[in-house]
């Protein structure tokens, strides 16, 4: 199979999906991504409490480090999950794969909510939590890619970036709900109640999404583009990982470049920021949670807007100036907050970061699926997305927390974002795929023979 680039055209030989079919496909695609982000954000918000419940060592820094390390374990297995599940989605279809994934994610979330603490069952408690994070990491490894493929394959021509943006919008909804839930629990419950049972409530609520999501996904039709490909080939598409790396390596590097700066920004500002505000700025946790909730509202509007702009002007033409601007703004923004830490400055900085993130990441699902043909789309997106998110997103809280402790500098997050931005620009700008799609935004990878 060779790489072919062509202008985006309507799918030939298959009837266009109706509006109701497209609406169901959008809902089925985004519900799992929303659950994934709700779970991961809740873990980040209650990391300090989880450390007390499952890792009660004498040194608070060691306890927190163990909690963040457990959080990172889920990300370390995501590339493996992405390769395996992405290959399944490319071979057996998007709908079946998504239906299985939502149940696996709900199970891992339920395990987090029901596992007794260290004081009750001893070392078994943290071991069960680690298993839950591994299970979550494996399932999530294929979730984003398969859902992004489903969204863009259902989308009409020249609206693929907009449809893909709903995947990011689901993250904003999860951000709003998780931060609001955390804000209510931390302000209404005593610390003893929060440690005893309060932190479990969001995980148990999140697990309830599983059966609903399975029903919705089970009822939606298969992606029209996948059905057309299977009909044309006469069998389920298949390709070895070695062949994929050889033929799509350039596209995979470009995809990782697209994701890196957005992943670093997203995970630092939305997951690590509450810990940073509490431990480094010595401000109440609720200050960060309120700003995070408002960030969710901004993202709900901002991500679809970015998708529309990308469809109109070109996603890569939007990506470069926004990333360059963020590289220049990251250090002054953190320095301004640290000069006189206050709830108002934290809130203002969060709003700036959210607007930038919306413009930067709204078109990510469309940008990634644009780089790979239908036959290897889920595999390509899963592999590149998960490697980038693991290295620069999932490990960001642990990396930044450790570097702050080692260097004593509270500006480490700014330097981390700057480095991530530079790496993104280099990977996208130096790959043939990135340069080509910058020049001709309407090009799309087609399935060559």
Q: List CB contacts of 357: < 8 A, sequence separation 6 or more.
A: 262, 265, 266, 269, 299, 302
Give the per-residue pLDDT at 58: 66
What is the per-residue pLDDT across 166-213, written as a single tens digit (0 to 9) for each?
999 998 898 889 888 988 998 899 989 999 999 999 999 989 988 998
Cα torsion 363, 364, 367, 373: sign: negative
Domain ranges of the chain: 20-221+247-447
pLDDT for 319 beyond 90: yes
Q: Roughly what angle, to the nearest 10 degrees, separates helices 124-154 and 377-389?
A: 130
289 C-beta neighbours (distance < 10 Å), count: 23
The band of 376, judged by pLDDT with boundaries at 50, 70 and 90, is confident
Using the predicted structure, report yes or no on whether residue 447 has a pLDDT greater than 60. no
- pLDDT reported for residue 6: 43
pTM exceeds 0.75 = yes
φ/ψ of 441, rounded to 5, equals -60, -25
Higher pLDDT, 76 or 418: 418
What are the φ and ψ backbone dihedral angles of 282, each rounded to 5 degrees?
A: 60, 45
> Residue 406 corresponds to which tokens in the numbers above?
């080692």
| Mean pLDDT (the chain, rounded) | 86
**Whole-Å CA distances, 318 to 164, 226, 247, 367, 429:** 15, 29, 27, 11, 13
Q: What tokens were used for 311?
A: 């469809």
Nearest CA-CA partner of 126 in 51, 209, 18, 235:
51
pLDDT for 199 equals 92
Mean pLDDT of 10-30: 74
* Maximum pairwise Cα distance, the chain: 66
More confident position, 291 or 389: 389
Compute CA 7 distance to the chain's CA centroid, rounded to the nearest angstrom.
Answer: 28
At 265-292, the pLDDT tens digits run 998 987 788 888 888 898 887 777 788 8
% of the chain residues with pLDDT over 70: 92
Residue 403 C-alpha from the chain's centroid: 24
Q: How many helices (H) and strands (E) does the chain have?
A: 22, 2
Asked if residue 157 lies in contact with residue 10, where contact means CB atoms within 8 angstroms, the answer is yes
| Superfamily of structural domain 20-221+247-447 | MFS general substrate transporter like domains (1.20.1250.20)
Residues 327-356 have pLDDT tens digits of: 999 999 999 999 999 999 999 999 999 999
Q: What is the pLDDT of residues 226-264, one digit of tens each?
A: 888 888 876 666 666 677 777 788 999 999 999 999 999
The conformation of residue 375, written as its DSSP 8-state character, comes to G
The tokens describing 115, both together, are 């596992």
């Amino acid at each position: 199979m060779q790489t072919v680039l062509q202008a985006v055209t309507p799918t030939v030989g298959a009837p266009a999906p109706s509006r109701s079919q497209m609406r169901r496909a959008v809902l089925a695609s985004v519900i799992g991504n929303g659950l994934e982000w709700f779970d991961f954000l809740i873990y980040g918000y209650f990391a300090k409490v989880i450390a007390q419940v499952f890792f009660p060592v004498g040194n608070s820094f060691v306890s927190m480090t163990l909690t963040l390390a457990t959080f990172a374990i889920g990300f370390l297995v995501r590339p493996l999950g992405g390769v395996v599940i992405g290959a399944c989605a490319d071979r057996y279809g998007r709908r079946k794969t998504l239906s299985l994934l939502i149940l696996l994610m709900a199970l891992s979330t339920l395990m987090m909510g029901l596992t007794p603490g260290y004081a009750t069952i001893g070392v078994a408690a943290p071991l069960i939590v680690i298993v839950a994070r591994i299970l979550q990491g494996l399932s999530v490894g294929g979730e984003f890619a398969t859902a992004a493929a489903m969204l863009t394959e259902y989308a009409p021509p020249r609206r693929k970036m907009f449809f893909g943006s709903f995947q990011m919008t689901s993250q904003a909804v999860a951000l709003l709900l998780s931060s609001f839930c955390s804000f209510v629990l931390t302000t209404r419950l005593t610390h003893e109640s929060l440690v005893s049972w309060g932190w479990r409530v969001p995980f148990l609520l999140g697990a309830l999404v599983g059966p609903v999501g399975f029903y919705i996904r089970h009822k939606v039709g298969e992606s029209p583009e996948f059905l057309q490909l299977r009909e044309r080939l006469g069998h389920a598409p298949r390709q070895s990982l070695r062949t994929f790396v050889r033929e799509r390596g350039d596209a995979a590097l470009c995809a990782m470049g697209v994701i890196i700066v957005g992943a670093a920004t997203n995970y630092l500002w939305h997951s690590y920021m509450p810990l940073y505000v509490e431990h480094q700025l010595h401000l109440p946790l609720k200050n960060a949670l309120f700003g995070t909730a408002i960030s969710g509202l901004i993202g709900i509007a901002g991500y679809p807007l970015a998708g529309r702009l990308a469809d109109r002007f070109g996603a890569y033409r939007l990506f470069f100036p926004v990333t360059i601007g963020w590289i220049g703004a990251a250090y002054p923004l953190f320095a301004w907050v640290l000069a006189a830490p206050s709830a108002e400055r934290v809130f203002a900085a969060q709003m700036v970061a959210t607007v930038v993130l919306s413009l930067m990441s709204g078109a990510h699902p469309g940008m990634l699926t644009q780089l790979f043909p239908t036959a290897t789309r889920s595999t390509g997106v899963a592999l590149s997305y998960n490697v980038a998110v693991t290295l620069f997103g999932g490990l960001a809280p642990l990396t930044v927390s450790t570097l702050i402790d080692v260097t004593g500098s509270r500006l480490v997050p700014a330097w981390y974002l700057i480095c991530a931005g530079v790496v993104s620009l280099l990977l996208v700008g130096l790959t043939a795929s990135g340069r080509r799609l910058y020049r001709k935004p309407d090009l799309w990878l087609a399935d060559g023979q």
